[in-house]
Amino acid sequence: MKPKFIISGGGTGGHIYPAIAIADKLKAKFPDAEFLFVGAEDRMEMEKVPQAGYPIKGLWISGLQRSLSLQNLAFPLKLISSLSKSNTILKKFKPDVAIGTGGYASAPLLRMASLKNIPCLIQEQNSYAGITNKWLSGKVQSICVAYEGMDKFFPSEKIRFTGNPVRQDLLDISSKKEEAIKFFNLDKNKKILLVLGGSLGAKKINELIEKSLTLFKQHNLQVIWQCGKYYEDAYKNKGNENVKVLAFLNRMDLAYAAADFIISRAGALSVSELCIVGKPVIFIPSPNVAEDHQTKNALAVTDREAAILIRENELDATFESKFSELISSEEHQKVLSENITKMAKPNATNDIVEEIEKLMNLN
């Protein structure tokens, strides 16, 4: 019998990419397996999942708005519709295991799967659990997490501390330094700062980098500045031989390999990747996310003296002094690198797949 896996995760890349990574690893282990993804009709998974080579079906579902909104009036109807469609999809596909990585669509799908006694696993990327996974936690068999202390959200007997799935090309970046410097056309004799604001870009980080270009020049630094597609036109004229301004980074492995220091948001997958990369990091979390979870992700690292945290509202007062202190102290850089590397979970995807295999044996 061919194994069948149904997977749901979406809304943002932070839910979609772990779902695809898990599917890819399952496919490598079970080449004849069948896969079906389930997402929210109007969200980015409907594009990204087919690009990765997997079929996907969409549900008419969205989250509740935090403010009073007409959209909330449609929520009960959307939920009933999505539960009904999930039931139909499950009846037809007959999966051996249902896997959820967060996002609106995974709630109705995994709820219906659990009612049909299909073994279920969820994967939580953040240090502060999302509403969907919290709601599902009592109804699934296994919960894979990336941070310790998640028993404040989930039943402790179901928790597996696996880490987050990360791209496999990051596991050996130390051998790619020379290639990376050529790729970005940089000088191997100067230190390199990598700035990551996410694919769309981060307004506050971009403003900070523009304001700090003179500071970076004083420290004789080169900069790879990923400004995001929304800000490319505003900042592309700031580029020169020492400052490479890019909307996207198509070779993240080479960007990480080139870097000596990194400034980054604190999304769950970014944090997991940076633990594996092992370079000194300054986290500037986005304050505009649910439950301020990026700050909580960053604190889980900085509490172990493994990175530096600067909140957006502290940038004007503290960035220059904290950055200059880091650049000037090789000892501080070494401590941060060693401590963040200790937090890495390079085998996360394998460990999650092992949990899925255990659930397959329940059928």
270 is in an annotated binding site: yes
Domains of the chain, earliest start first: 4-166+346-360 (3.40.50.2000), 169-342 (3.40.50.2000)
123 is in an annotated binding site: no
63 is in an annotated binding site: no
Please give the residue that has the higher pLDDT: either 169 or 124. 124
Q: Quick check: 309 and 250 in contact, CB under 8 A? A: no
Q: Which residues pair with 244 in a beta bridge?
A: 224
149 is in an annotated binding site: no
Residue 6: predicted pLDDT: 98
Q: Name residue 73's amino acid.
A: L
Residue 73: predicted pLDDT: 58
Reply yes or no on whether the pLDDT at 357 is more than 80: yes
> Quick one: average pLDDT of 130-155?
95
Residue 315 pLDDT class (50, 70, 90 cuts): very high
**For residue 193, what is the enclosing H or E element?**
strand 192-196
> Quick one: average pLDDT of 222-251?
92
Tell me the whole-structure pTM to 2 decimals: 0.88
DSSP 55-116: -EEEE---PPPSS--GGGGGHHHHHHHHHHHHHHHHHHH--SEEEE-SSTTHHHHHHHHHHT
Residue 69: predicted pLDDT: 55
86 is in an annotated binding site: no
> Quick one: average pLDDT of 83-93?
94
Residue 75: predicted pLDDT: 61
Q: How far apart are CA 38 and CA 45, in angstroms?
A: 9
> Quick one: average pLDDT of 244-257?
94
Residue/partner pairs of 176-184 with CB below 8 Å, 24 or more apart: 176/253, 176/254, 176/257, 177/257, 177/258, 179/254, 179/257, 180/251, 180/254, 180/255, 180/257, 180/258, 181/258, 183/251, 183/254, 183/258, 184/224, 184/244, 184/254, 184/255, 184/258
> Quick one: average pLDDT of 253-257?
97
14 is in an annotated binding site: yes
Q: How far apart are CA 355 and CA 37, in angstroms?
A: 19
Residue 72: predicted pLDDT: 58
Residue 173: predicted pLDDT: 92
Reply yes or no on whether the pLDDT at 285 is more than 80: yes
**345: which residues sit within 8 A by CB, 6+ positions away?**
146, 162, 163, 164, 272, 275, 276, 351
> Quick one: average pLDDT of 73-87?
77
Residue 68: predicted pLDDT: 52
Average pLDDT of every residue of the chain: 92
Q: How far apart are CA 19 and CA 109, in angstroms?
A: 14
Residue 188 pLDDT class (50, 70, 90 cuts): very high
267 is in an annotated binding site: no
> Which of 149-172 are b and which e, b meaning 16 or more Cβ less than 10 Å from the residue's Cβ?
ebeebbeeebbbebbbbbeeebee
13 is in an annotated binding site: yes
**123: which residues sit within 8 A by CB, 6+ positions away?**
9, 18, 22, 99, 100, 101, 102, 143, 144, 145, 162, 164, 165, 352
Q: How far apart are CA 183 and CA 33, in angstroms?
A: 38
180 is in an annotated binding site: no
Sign of the dihedral through C-alpha 317, 320, 322, 325: negative
Q: Tens digits of per-residue pLDDT, 207-231? A: 999 999 999 999 999 999 999 988 9
Q: Quick check: 124 and 133 in contact, CB under 8 A? A: yes
167 is in an annotated binding site: yes
Residue 214: predicted pLDDT: 96
Q: How far apart are CA 272 and CA 277, in angstroms?
A: 9
Q: Tens digits of per-residue pLDDT, 260-269? A: 999 999 999 9
Q: How far apart are CA 122 and CA 108, in angstroms?
A: 13
Q: Quick check: 276 and 171 in contact, CB under 8 A? A: yes
316 CB-contact burial (10 Å; exposed 0-12 / middle 13-18 / buried 19+): exposed
Report the Cα–Cα distance between both ends of the chain, in Å, rounded: 12
272 is in an annotated binding site: yes
Residue percentage of the chain with pLDDT more than 70: 95
Reply yes or no on whether the pLDDT at 34 is more than 60: yes
Reply yes or no on whether the pLDDT at 156 is more than 70: yes
**41: which residues sit within 8 A by CB, 6+ positions away?**
58, 59, 60, 61
Residue 273: predicted pLDDT: 95
